[in-house]
Structure 1
Amino acid sequence: MNVNEHEPSAGLFTAVYESDENAVVGRLRAGADPEATDEDGQSVLYLAALQDEPGIVRLLLAAGARPDRLSAGIDAPLCGAACGGHLEVVRALLAGGAKPDLVEEGGFTALTWAVLGGHAEVVEALLAAGAHPDRSGPSDEPPLVTAARRGSPSCVRALLAHGARARAQALAEARRWSALDVAAELRASLERLHGTGHEVTVRRVPAADGGTTVVVELVVDGRAVAGDDRQTGHAEIVGLLEGAGYGGRA
């Protein structure tokens, strides 16, 4: 169903945007559809997942929202939560029956999104729930290689603990990145996509696993128009893989 101002489910979206769990309960008791969609086809469960609202996600699931229903036929709530690093939402969806290896449009799984973002706790939660450690995303790249490029030692550890393969390939990728200037590489990649001549900002912020994340943005009129980021734990990952004897193994 599509939500408009005359339908009882319209207030459900407002309640989610306002992070108001009591209002969500009230709307559901008044008959709001827990699987309501807006005019763009976005489901209220997907919105709650994106908004990092685990309590609301649990309420919607308890009211009958299907955890694996694709929002607008494209986006999985679990993938949206994993992309944002929303650990408690991921746990709520998995507890509510979400399939950890569900593939959304474009070939992405929640594990793919979590590894791309360096969200190690989400990676661990998905693996513990049964996500396959070697299931690749749309690029056909193994998750361990993606984690090595990301520069996240914690993601690498989690994947290795669950038997991830492609270890020699991951080691080669970590070695390659450990020899590069991460900020310069990210800038060059962004400029290949968006052209040169932009103002460029570089920030270094603490990563969740104790390292550093380099954030590079292209700025126009004081507003970031494109950006990318990478953690800088590549040398540590090399040590992890070499020290565990993975240098010559698949």
Structure 2
Amino acid sequence: MRDVKKLSRGVILGLALLGSFSPSPMASALGVKGSAVTTTAQKSKLNAQLLQAAEQGNLEQLQTLLKAGASASAADGSGRTALTWAAKGDHVAVARALIAAGADPDPQDDQRNNALLVTGETGSVAMLREVLKAKPDLTRTNRYGGTALIPAADRGHLPYVSEILKTTKIDVNHVNNLGWTALLEAVILGDGGRAHTGIVHELLAHGADRKIADREGVTPLQHARQRGYSEMVKLLEK
């Protein structure tokens, strides 16, 4: 009987403690019950909010969500990560916070984009520098089979091309699904102007093979001659 009374008092005390528990201000603000994130549903909600904050570039909210337990490597239904969303919006501070929290830079979404590959499209040198801190896989390729260097070359992102060639060991002679290298794309898809000519110069200076031809056997020099890109011709003839 004495043991039962002790047990009853213990149960009553436990119930009293549970009744006195209240969510922390941070958890309440995020709509989470309790001070610790413990359920899958709660984690999913935090991750969804984190993805939205990354897309919108809301650094303050993102940091709050990370502290509340959201994953720095959270991804949406398409497989797009918070870091990729940040890269697409060129939200550099957000990307920095995610990487500091351990975000994985390599996962690719259903369009085969990831943070590094996106920087090749946007040409953002600042974002490139942040993503490189996470030590991304430089061999990952986009939906066309190209590394980050190739879209940067065809879009005329000269500062980006200079930076990625200077700071990484990315394959300058990688051939994409179209059968084109970065050098071929700079000539074929470029306009022959200052930016694309500068890219040709940078690529050659970092070991681009001018002899690699397209699938029809046409070399970068021949393409440049056909298009009348005289400055490129001079570089490719050296």
TM-score of the two chains, using structure 2 as the length reference: 0.63
- Cα distance in 2, alignment partners of residues 135 and 57 from structure 1: 27
In the other structure, the counterpart of 1:246 is 208
Indicate how the Cα distance of structure 1 residues 249 and 123 shifts in structure 2: closer, same or farther if over 3 A, else same: farther
Amino acid at match of 1:239: H
Indicate how the Cα distance of structure 1 residues 175 and 154 shifts in structure 2: closer, same or farther if over 3 A, else same: same
Is the CA contact (8 Å cut-off) linking 1:43 and 1:72 kept in structure 2?
A: no
- Residue 199 of structure 2 is aligned to residue 237 of structure 1: yes
Indicate how the Cα distance of structure 1 residues 246 and 108 shifts in structure 2: closer, same or farther if over 3 A, else same: same
Is the CA contact (8 Å cut-off) linking 1:144 and 1:167 kept in structure 2?
A: no
- Cα distance in 2, alignment partners of residues 147 and 27 from structure 1: 42
1:23-38 matched pairs, under 5 angstroms: 26=25, 28-30=27-29, 32-33=31-32, 35=43, 37=45
Q: 1:117 aligns with which of 105, 115, 122?
A: 122
Alpha-carbon displacement from aligned partner over 1:84-125 (angstroms, at most 9, x marks no partner): 111111111111111011222332211111211112211222
**Structure 1: gaps spanning 5 or more residues:** 1-24, 182-231
SS at structure 1 position matched to 2:151: helix
In the other structure, the counterpart of 1:47 is 52
- Residue 106 of structure 2 is aligned to residue 69 of structure 1: no
1:69-108 matched pairs, under 5 angstroms: 69-72=74-77, 74-108=79-113
- Cα distance in 2, alignment partners of residues 249 and 130 from structure 1: 31
1:76-225 matched pairs, under 5 angstroms: 76-160=81-165, 161-167=167-173, 169-179=181-191
Highest Rg: 1 or 2? 2
- Cα distance in 2, alignment partners of residues 128 and 120 from structure 1: 13
Q: Work out the number of aligned pairs and report it.
A: 173
Identity of aligned residues (%): 27
How far did residue 32 of structure 1 move?
A: 2.2
**Structure 2: gaps spanning 5 or more residues:** 1-23, 33-41, 175-180, 213-238
Is the CA contact (8 Å cut-off) linking 2:183 and 2:210 kept in structure 1?
A: no
Is the CA contact (8 Å cut-off) linking 1:49 and 1:80 kept in structure 2?
A: yes
Amino acid at match of 2:71: R
Query: Greater strand share, 1 or 2?
Result: 1
Runs of 4+ in structure 1 over 6 Å off: none
How far did residue 74 of structure 1 move?
A: 3.4
- Cα distance in 2, alignment partners of residues 27 and 245 from structure 1: 53
Query: Greater helix share, 1 or 2?
Result: 2
Indicate how the Cα distance of structure 1 residues 26 and 139 shifts in structure 2: closer, same or farther if over 3 A, else same: farther
How far did residue 176 of structure 1 move?
A: 2.4
Alpha-carbon displacement from aligned partner over 1:121-177 (angstroms, at most 9, x marks no partner): 112221232012221122211221111012112221232121111337212211223
Is the CA contact (8 Å cut-off) linking 1:145 and 1:167 kept in structure 2?
A: no
How far did residue 55 of structure 1 move?
A: 2.2
SS at structure 2 position matched to 1:43: helix
